Structure 1
């Protein structure tokens, strides 16, 4: 992962702002990455600034062991570390190379655990549409390598459930509202047009390396 210890920095967008057009628009990508993502980075650094004891903790350690943090920064670190982690994975698992399909070990696992790519797609989209308010829909792997679809609220992460994330769909309104307004279903369908399954396959392999 990117520099994953304090002070955290905003990782560069791995493609141009307009690279996901027409499915995710340039203005949304710019605001989402440069403003929303940056705010989570800034607020995480602010929360940790006066606590050098935790400057050596990785982002994943801050998320997984947040209960060990001082109570007065616990919520801020939880929310903002989750925001940084989730957004990093989100932008890394989108691609200008459109209409990808899963390949390699991940494709085999999807067929094994869901029956087909289309069946997995339906479940992931249902999780996105079923999330009330803000949150995420995820394809994850459990400790035995079995794939699952889950949904998390706000900036919660699969790590807190002992699950390994493979690819996330952001269903906070700031991820799609400029282009889709209230049409979350249209955004969810078009997200698959720019999903980076090659990167997701790498994350799946990392889960079980």
Structure 2
């Protein structure tokens, strides 16, 4: 059985950037719900508990057809949110002058251009999903919008970090203001954690 990854901080510690009510609902209802439903689906095929959730998603077509859709949706929800919990800080942070920043500037011409493109992808996306910075299959850095709870791992891509743009992530605080949500959450991305993750992925 997969166990929940605990938040590094209390729900209220993310204020004022993310409201306590949103963090509590997001973690205790949505994330825990995805996890419970994933565990329930995999009870029929317990051998999958020998893999990580990300490994299962990377080979989603090997999951038996009768539970594949549930594992895709619930497993994606688990994986996506666990990465989000990892990269959120509780205070404003600045990008680290490391390999990620250097490679992003090469791929997008400048850091500001990267932020602008990420923001545009968030605000122009239609429907529920996530916006990601990923490695594609050719190890190129790309910004992608992926609908629903589908994971980049399902496409052979490796997520570096992402933002949840389902309405449950922001509506109680920002209503339909995705731009305001983006600006607040971007302030508390933990760039040292993201840099460390990136460095481990490119080894």
Q: TM-score range by the shorter chain?
A: over 0.9
Choose the corresponding residue for 1:45, options 39, 42, 45.
39
Task: State the match for 2:124 in structure 1.
Answer: 130
1:99: how far off?
3.2
**Cα-to-partner distance string for 1:51-94 (whole Å, 9 max, x where unaligned):** 12322122112101111121110000111110000000111111
Task: State the match for 2:167 in structure 1.
Answer: 173
Q: TM-score, normalised by structure 1?
A: 0.92
Choose the corresponding residue for 1:32, options 6, 17, 26.
26
Task: State the match for 2:187 in structure 1.
Answer: 193
Q: Which has more helix, going by share of residues? A: 2
Write the distance in 2 (CA, Å) between the matches of 1:20 and 1:121.
22
Choose the corresponding residue for 1:160, options 135, 154, 158.
154
1:143: how far off?
4.7
> Where does 1:1-209 land on structure 2 (aligned, <5 Å)?
7-209=1-203
1:164: how far off?
1.4
Q: TM-score, normalised by structure 2?
A: 0.95
Moved over 4 A (4+): none
Write the distance in 2 (CA, Å) between the matches of 1:146 and 1:85.
22
The answer (yes or no) to whether the contact 2:118–2:131 under 8 Å persists in 1 is yes
The answer (yes or no) to whether the contact 2:60–2:154 under 8 Å persists in 1 is no
Where does the alignment leave 5 or more consecutive residues of structure 1 unmatched?
1-6
Query: How many residues are paired up?
Result: 203
CA RMSD of aligned residues (A): 1.3
Where does the alignment leave 5 or more consecutive residues of structure 2 unmatched?
none
